[in-house]
Amino acid sequence: MKRVLLILCLAWIAATPTRAQPLFLTHGKILTLDADSRIAEALLIEDGLIARVGSDAELRATLPTGAREIDLGGRTLIPGLIDSHIHAIRAGLTFSKEVNWIGATSLREALARMRDVAARTPEDAWVVVPGGWNAQQFEEKRLPTQAEIEAAAPRHPVYVQMSYVGALLSTRGFAALGVSRDEDLPANGRIERDRDGRMTGWVQGDLQTIVALYDRLPKPTLEDAMDGTRAFFRELNRLGVTGVSDPQGHNLTLDQYAAVKKLARDGALTLRVRLSHCAPRLGFELEDYERMTRDLPMGAGDDWLRTNGIGECVTWGMYNNDTPSDAQLAQFEAVALFAARHELGLTIHWNNNASVHYLLDAFERVGKQVDYAPLRWSIAHVHDASPEALTRMRALNLGWLMQDRLYFAAPAFLAAYAQSRIERMPPLVTALRLGLPVGGGTDADRVMSYSPFVALRWMLDGRTISGLETRTAEEIPTREQALRIWTQGSAWFTHEDDRRGVLKPGALADMAVLSGDVLTMPLEKFGEVTSLLTIVGGKIVFADGPFLELLPR
């Protein structure tokens, strides 16, 4: 009997979850971003939550037994950053196999990265740059040539995507895709040729052309997708990101969620993922949403992976369409009514202010039938939003998902606007003054860098990558306001602003110790900031420099 009792006791112990070791973070400059904007010295983490925040002496007096002390050495600790609009799941599928040109300051550096990847890639396998770069970031201020990418990866087919406006292919790349003339390309595609009729390597077309062309590349295996997702999420952790909201987007089908779902089941995620479902099929949006949300209703999942409704392509007739027809508007309104009645979150992609009145009119008609205010619906992008549009969004109980796409804005793009408009693009302070909910994001990784600190610098100085000034001082937020947009602001859209994006007792223990003091450091250095220690749910998920030994082995 004693032996049976011992076996049962051991089995009970094995089945009982072990409590994580409490963490006591001391001697820091802790930006709590609480209601009082308190700056504390110490913080205690227990069971994945923040237990106490205060002075070193206060917390040390009542430390729990076995707490692990981490001396921050005066460094700045902030709530974990939350990217409210990033295609993180799609980026992760291929991250470990692709060439990353984000942050490269010259073509020489970018091509060197390509050579490095090509050297460890099997011959004849694709070498791919998926986007996130712009010629203005290079000191040469020009695009790469076909000859240059072929010299960097001579034994591979090469595909280099520039946002959604073009793609550069090597000779082997064209051959692998069976493309030798315009007719071989997706609709509206065109092979660029020089004055002698020779192919330059560039393919031009509209968004759908480039999306369809990328879709012809080989799909990753589940194992590769999981490796890439781990790598990309840890790269975000390196930049202080502890959570993302993912709007699905192009070149991502439902079956490709398998990698992130498997990692979630295995307890292997290193940041929190909130995902929305786009409309899969043109013409069947409502039917598909009825099926999808029956299987994955709003809020399905846990604190690591959870669904947050529908978008950013709510209906295809309203996607990238500046002049929607009455039928397309009616279709959107039918889906929005369905979402409201089923208490689903909704976010919709919209490009410009000139046509946003169509969308706002549609929301107004929906709001007269169903009160969607508690659902925290949002509009993503509208980079040139006017104060009038933001005022109307506030009245319609909508939020604004704002990214730093204008950081890559070319002089020719800005020249199309009056100087008075440029000085308010986008009107961030106006939005905050109106009380409009604003979430920070990047829209990475096809069109923009995934670094939140690049986005934060742009918010705080209004300068494009080529140094052009946009927003004037009247529309520049304070550093604390910018951090709040990237923390509590983003958390609002997933109904978690009471427990994420703030360092207070009872909140989730998501935070980052930074390489610089973001309240006092020179603004021109902002884009270089990284995290030295990132904690999610009380677990150390990234460590570097003086904290490297803390990383679990």
Dump pLDDT digits (tens) for 203-222. 999 999 999 999 999 999 99
pLDDT confidence tier of residue 201, bands split at 50, 70 and 90: very high
What is the pTM (predicted TM-score) of this model?
A: 0.94
User: What would the pLDDT profile of 441-482 be if each residue is shown by its tens digit?
Assistant: 999 999 999 999 999 999 999 999 988 888 889 999 999 999
Specify the fold of 278-504. TIM Barrel (3.20.20)
Q: How confident is the model at residue 260 (pLDDT cuts 50, 70, 90)?
A: very high
Q: Which CATH superfamily is domain 2-81+535-550 in?
A: Urease, subunit C, domain 1 (2.30.40.10)
How far from the centroid of its chain's Cα atoms is residue 232's Cα?
Answer: 11
Mean predicted confidence (pLDDT) in 401-428: 85
Q: What is the pLDDT of residues 356-402, one digit of tens each?
A: 999 999 999 999 999 999 999 999 999 999 999 999 999 999 999 99
**Cα–Cα distance list, 300 to 66, 307, 510 (Å):** 35, 6, 21
- Domain 98-214: give its CATH architecture: Roll (3.10)
CA atoms of 220 and 180, how far apart (whole Å):
26
The CA distance from 345 to 107, in Å, is 42
Distances (CA, A) of 372 to 314, 328, 350, 399: 16, 21, 19, 12
Radius of gyration of the chain (CA): 24
pLDDT value of residue 19: 67
pLDDT at 6 > cutoff 70: no
pLDDT number for residue 4: 39
Question: What pLDDT shows up at residue 279?
Answer: 84
Extract the tokens encoding 110: 């970018």
Helix (H) or strand (E) holding 90: helix 88-94
Number of H helices, E strands in the chain: 19, 23
Residue that wins the pLDDT comparison between 201 and 408: 201
Q: DSSP labels for 9-61?
A: HHHHHHHSPPPPPPEEEES-EEE---TT--EESEEEEETTEEEEEE-HHHHHT
- How many residues would you count in the chain? 553
Omega within 30 of 0 (cis) for the link into 426: yes
Phi, psi of 272 (to 5 degrees): -90, 135
pLDDT at 307 exceeding the cut of 60: yes
Task: Choose among 101, 254, 250: nearest CA to 164.
Answer: 250
* Six-digit token string for 321: 């369409």
Phi/psi of residue 347, each to 5°?
A: -130, 140
Element (H, E) at 409: none
- Assign 14 a pLDDT band (cuts: 50, 70, 90): very low
Secondary structure (3-state) at 194:
coil
Q: Which two tokens stand for residue 418?
A: 């009056």
Please report, for the chain, the start and end positions of each structural domain, with discontinuous segments joined by +.
2-81+535-550, 98-214, 278-504
